[in-house]
Structure 1
Amino acid sequence: MVSSVDRSEIAFFDLETTIPTRPEQPYAILEFGSILVCPKKLIELESFETLVRPHDLSLISASSVRANGITADAVVSAPTFSDIADRVYDILHGRVWAGHNILRFDCVRLREAYAQINRSPPEPKGTIDSLALLTQRFGRRAGDMKMASLAAYFGLGQQSHRSLDDVRMNFEVVKHCATVLFLESANPGEQIPIPIPSNEAMVEDSSSTTQSDAFTPQTEFLPSNEVSMASITVSSSSSVSPYFHGSHKIQILHRDIPLQIRCDSMRIRFGLSTKYLDHAGRPRLSFVVDANSSNLCDLLNTCDNITKRFMDSDRNSEWRPLVSRKPGFFDSPTIRLHLRTEDGDGSGWMTEIYKKESSSLSSLSIPQLVTSSRYDVAELDWLFRPGGFVDAYLCLDPYNYQQNAGIRLVAKKLVVHY
């Protein structure tokens, strides 16, 4: 047992929580796991892990169980957070805290938990958020920089989404990244090749992809004027969608292939909005552009009509059309584009965003990748200025959720002209 007087160790920690299903619903801690690490020898000195019983077991939704496997039955006999508050305080207070995405999530949830029991939270003497640190120092060579992607990149196995396992995986990832960066510092200008394990769940190694390869336009995205209206159909599959009631997810097809469209030089009418929340209570980013051609409007209206007829059995939901025509602005239709969000641990957005100089008229100009995941609204707000232009690569995602139905235009890629 490490002496509580010694505060030199680094405290790696992780929380597993419920996933709110409504904006007003709070998070509840379901599990706490931590290790104390010697900063000089980089060895684990002590560990602690416990399940936590929330004050309301009904907060453990199906989404929560899918995310971490922790059921109400598993925690019914576990201690409450109040029961473990002293131990957690002793582990964390006055030490350097470390973890993946802890600044935006774990630290916030921890403070909320102490506030709920009217206790002062522990305070760190420093923080190491490995998501921010490794994104800055290690780059995007491991893809989206999620813990699962980093672990797969180094062949460390699959993420379990359980606190102590994830903490130890985080520690190993940091050590591996530090080793690579140290070796690269001895060979300036060279990137150390990492053997990629054979793993179907692995993300593609982005370090072997050139900038031009990363943005080769895909033939699966059709320009709106190349879509045959007569070839658009709708089908359902058995996969469950959190945005669709029932056991079937609706797909819009074009010649039996999921319809995806490319729209170039769309003028931004209104910048990023955070007004709407997803099923986990996180802001769902979107922005409004002008529908820049009658052909595009006709295509979207056709998709609306076909999908609405397919879903017409549920008459309790209000249909929201893709193309918006405000009173007095009938000749200025707009459409809303959504940034793609994660359905798993819910830690960020997944739309790939590039920027391209507006002054460059050459088709050979290569857009530069801005980000592909996990970003703050403030980091992107400057890109989506009203009056600016974007090229959008869109998929069509029908939804029927909380008595609202329609189709979301979800951007897989965006090229922002600046």
Structure 2
Amino acid sequence: MVRSEDRFEYAFFDLETTKPTQPGQECIILEFGAILVCPSTLVELDAYSTLVRPADLSSIAPLPMRSNGINRDTVASSPTFQDIADEVYDILHGRIWAGHNILGFDCALIQKAFAHIGRPAPKPKGTIDSLALLEQRFGRRAGNMKMDTLANYFGLGRQEHRSLADVRLNLEVLKNCATVLFLESSLPDMGPLSNEMQEELNQLDSAVGFLEPDQVFIPSIDASLVPLYRGSQRIKLLHDLKLCCRHMKLRFGINMKSDFFDYYGRPKLNIIADASPNLCKVLDACDDIASKLSVDSGSKSEWKPVVIRQYDYPAVRLHIPASGDIRIYATEIYKKEPSGTEQRLVFTKLDSSELSTLFKQGSFMDAFFSLDPYDYQQNASIRLVAKKLVIHSN
């Protein structure tokens, strides 16, 4: 692999790992593959790949369960991650990292792998996650946006699920998507059709970066203490976890009798919705990590679980914040028609009675929200802050 001092290349990389068979089990790296790509020409300049022998060979499932051919025998004589750590570090450190779903999976595994051998992990100059990028720019016209689906869409063949082949396929998929978008941008204005496509893109822009609960790699969830002010600290969940939950059932709408107000005298608004089992798994994992960190930090506050389990079905509270110091909602609120069309609702003031007519008990919505740990006035928990809510029409 070429050593480059200015490190201008994109480092496309991919990992093949073991598949966890039970809760709490970590993925273990079995193969690392990377290519260095010129950002000006997208020409591959160099490549590197190797199988990786885990400390425990029994963590690898038997051959019939692995379609890519990686098994105990094929990795038995391969180097360990510690053996290849220098090469991996040199490939990745100081370069722009690129890959498909690397922010949700591969980046965290690289960090953990270096931590396990007691070495500092490489740091990127920037990251390009093609999953998030294509969801934003290309939309879901190709389907579920998995690499094998995208490859099939463009007639590029099957995904091999081998690291080096997959990163090269990733690059070809990006080239095809970019070509389609470039050609579309050269077309004349197509009136209503063009407007409809732009509206769809706007809706995708506001939802990009959000993961559905089953897309979250739970072992990668972590938290740390970060400075707040005057020497104090706050808990921050790593990887800026943002979630998307579709078709959530509203259990309780806006509380019209709320006595809670913010610094500017605006009512604190929230709704309560049922939480799916997958969402509960993610939030419980976040809860467990953040609450332990809260105790370790010396906080005396009472930790309140984010999942509410006092009803016959687990539920969560979604907060609808106001925007800065003005009296409008920071949350984007849409109404979804039976046809599937989403229309953004425009509000000129904070009006809880107006919202209560929209968020009715028993109705359904799509929720996009962030996770915000807090410790305030002897109470600590994780606040779910609604970024976008899509109310389904009856």
Q: Shorter-chain TM-score: which interval?
A: 0.5 to 0.7
Letter in 2 for 1:272: A
**265, 274, 288: which one pairs with 1:271?**
274
Letter in 1 for 2:340: P
Instruction: Confirm whether residue 163 of structure 1 aligns to residue 163 of structure 2.
Output: yes
SS of the residue corresponding to residue 24 of structure 2 reads coil
Deviation at 1:2, TM superposition (A): 2.6
SS of the residue corresponding to residue 275 of structure 1 reads helix
Distance 1:5 1:282, change over 3 A: same
Instruction: Confirm whether residue 115 of structure 1 aligns to residue 120 of structure 2.
Output: no
The match for 1:239 is: none
- Post-superposition CA distance 1:151-189 (Å, at most 9, x none): 111110010111001000000001111111111111155
Instruction: Confirm whether residue 172 of structure 1 aligns to residue 172 of structure 2.
Output: yes
The match for 1:233 is: none
Distance 1:71 1:188, change over 3 A: farther
Residue 356 of structure 1 contacts residue 367 of structure 1 at CA under 8 Å; is this kept in 2? no
SS of the residue corresponding to residue 113 of structure 1 reads helix
Deviation at 1:122, TM superposition (A): 0.6
**380, 383, 387: which one pairs with 2:361?**
387
Letter in 2 for 1:367: G
Deviation at 1:265, TM superposition (A): 11
SS of the residue corresponding to residue 140 of structure 2 reads coil
The match for 2:125 is: 125
What CA distance in whole angstroms lies between the structure 2 residues aligned with 1:265 and 1:156? Answer: 37
Instruction: Confirm whether residue 367 of structure 1 aligns to residue 340 of structure 2.
Output: yes
Residue 54 of structure 1 contacts residue 80 of structure 1 at CA under 8 Å; is this kept in 2? yes
For structure 1, list consecutive stretches of 5 or more residues without a partner in the other structure.
191-206, 211-263, 284-325, 337-354, 371-384, 393-413
Residue 275 of structure 2 contacts residue 314 of structure 2 at CA under 8 Å; is this kept in 1? no
Residue 271 of structure 1 contacts residue 386 of structure 1 at CA under 8 Å; is this kept in 2? no
Distance 1:265 1:120, change over 3 A: closer
Taking the TM superposition and a 5 Å limit, the aligned residue runs for 1:9-408 are 9-61=9-61, 65-66=65-66, 68-189=68-189, 268=251, 270-273=273-276, 274-276=279-281, 357=335, 365-368=338-341, 387-390=361-364
For structure 2, list consecutive stretches of 5 or more residues without a partner in the other structure.
191-196, 201-246, 253-272, 287-308, 316-332, 344-358, 367-389
The match for 1:193 is: none
Q: Considering only aligned residues, what root-mean-square deviation do their CA atoms show, in Å?
A: 3.7
Deviation at 1:391, TM superposition (A): 9.4
Letter in 1 for 2:36: L
SS of the residue corresponding to residue 143 of structure 1 reads coil
- Post-superposition CA distance 1:81-125 (Å, at most 9, x none): 000000000011111110000001000111010000011111110
What CA distance in whole angstroms lies between the structure 1 residues aligned with 2:365 and 2:5? Answer: 57
Letter in 2 for 1:271: D
The number of residue pairs the alignment matches comes to 240
Residue 367 of structure 1 contacts residue 415 of structure 1 at CA under 8 Å; is this kept in 2? no
What CA distance in whole angstroms lies between the structure 2 residues aligned with 1:85 and 1:156? Answer: 32
What CA distance in whole angstroms lies between the structure 2 residues aligned with 1:86 and 1:182? Answer: 39
Distance 1:181 1:117, change over 3 A: same
Deviation at 1:266, TM superposition (A): 6.4
Deviation at 1:369, TM superposition (A): 7.5
SS of the residue corresponding to residue 143 of structure 2 reads coil
What CA distance in whole angstroms lies between the structure 2 residues aligned with 1:99 and 1:265? Answer: 31
Q: Identity of paired residues, percent?
A: 54
- Post-superposition CA distance 1:26-79 (Å, at most 9, x none): 211000000000111111011101000111112213599436432111111110
What CA distance in whole angstroms lies between the structure 1 residues aligned with 2:313 and 2:4? Answer: 60
Residue 98 of structure 1 contacts residue 129 of structure 1 at CA under 8 Å; is this kept in 2? yes
The match for 1:288 is: none
